[in-house]
Amino acid sequence: MKKALSIQVFGLVQGVWFRKSTQEKAIELGIAGFVKNENDGSVYIEAEGSEDQLKIFVDWCHIGPSGANVSKVMSKQASIQNHVHFVIKK
């Protein structure tokens, strides 16, 4: 069964290829949605997939790419938007 999460990642997560790495991980896991930078320096993600896919994805968000230093990840259930792909939003 498909689920949706909204995820916010805090710490050193901009300027370290976090969005591109997030897109690559999402595609690898078969997750649809998007990732974008926020004005407060965090990264916002909407992700849709199975419970197992999303668990692996959120666990990855706690680490991120090698240059990132994640201090906090907040995730909550979201309504399904039926995203088809996983894209980077500007």
> Tens digit of pLDDT for each residue in 29-83?
999 999 999 999 999 999 999 999 999 999 999 999 999 999 999 999 999 999 9
pLDDT of residue 71: 98
| pLDDT at 68 (0 to 100) | 98
Domain range enclosing 7: 3-89
Rounded CA separation 47/35 (Å): 8
Average of pLDDT values for 10-25?
Answer: 98
CATH of the domain at 49: 3.30.70.100
Tokens of 51: 């419970």
At residue 44, the pLDDT reads 98
What is d(CA 34, CA 36) in angstroms, rounded to the nearest whole number?
A: 7
pLDDT value of residue 78? 98
Residue 73 CB-density burial (10 A; 0-12 exposed, 13-18 middle, 19+ buried): buried
Catalytic residue annotation = 19, 37
Does the pTM exceed 0.85? yes
Number of domains in the chain: 1
